Amino acid sequence: MKSKILGFDMDGVIVDNCPLKVRIAKDLGYKITLTDAPSEIISKILKPEDVRKLQLALYHNLETSLDAELMPGIVTLLNKIQESQTPFFLISRRLEPNIAVELLKARGIWPKYFNKSNAFFVVEPEDKNIKAKELGATHYVDDETKILAILKDVPNKFLFDNLGVHSHSDAYTKVASHAELAKYFL
């Protein structure tokens, strides 16, 4: 059997920015709940111009970005993966990598787990598949079904759905926690 090579998305998998999205949406005049905050849902609730304002605040404003917390269980999972010596990497569509790196540093994730050798920042959703293929990814976890659909060259796809808002599909394995994900990754 081919060795596992694991890939992670950042926002919604490593970093939990849903509480921050609720706060930003409230500042924009919306009353949403945590279950409204995942990207594929909130983009249908907010006006397009407000989605853009939310994205600017989350991903392009360092002060706001630093308010995001880690997903529960991610440090335990990353420790186990490192101990197993299984290769792993991060592929994020954050357009301002410096802000992403500052957030990961603030949460103790950079450079202990992710660093310049295993963290990659791409522009388009399709670029995630290109980078995953280049890295030989056998397993990849993302919080967006539309991204998983694009990862044609990754044989094992996982939807991280800690809020239980997405339906099941045969195209991916749905997981609700990092402890559950560990069963497949280790």
Nearest-5° angle of CA 181, CA 110, CA 130?
Answer: 60
| Same domain flag for 112 and 169 | yes
pLDDT for 2 beyond 70: no
pLDDT for 23 beyond 60: yes
- Mean pLDDT across the stretch 89-115? 97
| Same domain flag for 140 and 97 | yes
pLDDT for 80 beyond 60: yes
Total number of domains in the chain: 2
The answer to the question of residue 1 being in a domain is no
| Same domain flag for 28 and 54 | yes
The answer to the question of residue 41 being in a domain is yes
d(CA 26, CA 28): 5
| Same domain flag for 112 and 161 | yes
- Please, what is the average pLDDT of the chain? 96
Domain of residue 152 covers 6-16+69-185
| Same domain flag for 84 and 171 | yes
pTM, whole model, 2 decimals? 0.94
Closest CA to 159 of 143, 171, 146: 143
The answer to the question of residue 110 being in a domain is yes
Q: Which residue has the tokens 């397009």?
A: 48
pLDDT for 90 beyond 50: yes
Q: Which CATH number is 92's domain given?
A: 3.40.50.1000
The answer to the question of residue 28 being in a domain is yes
pLDDT for 120 beyond 70: yes
The answer to the question of residue 127 being in a domain is yes
Please identify, among 65, 80, 98, the residue that sits at the C-terminal boundary of a domain: 65
| Same domain flag for 61 and 84 | no
| Same domain flag for 74 and 92 | yes
- Mean pLDDT across the stretch 170-185? 95
- Mean pLDDT across the stretch 66-92? 97
Give the pLDDT confidence score for residue 1 in this predicted structure. 46
pLDDT by residue (tens digit) across 134-174? 999 999 999 999 999 999 999 999 999 999 999 888 999 99
**Token pair in block for residue 13:** 């998998």
Give the pLDDT confidence score for residue 31 in this predicted structure. 96
| Same domain flag for 167 and 77 | yes
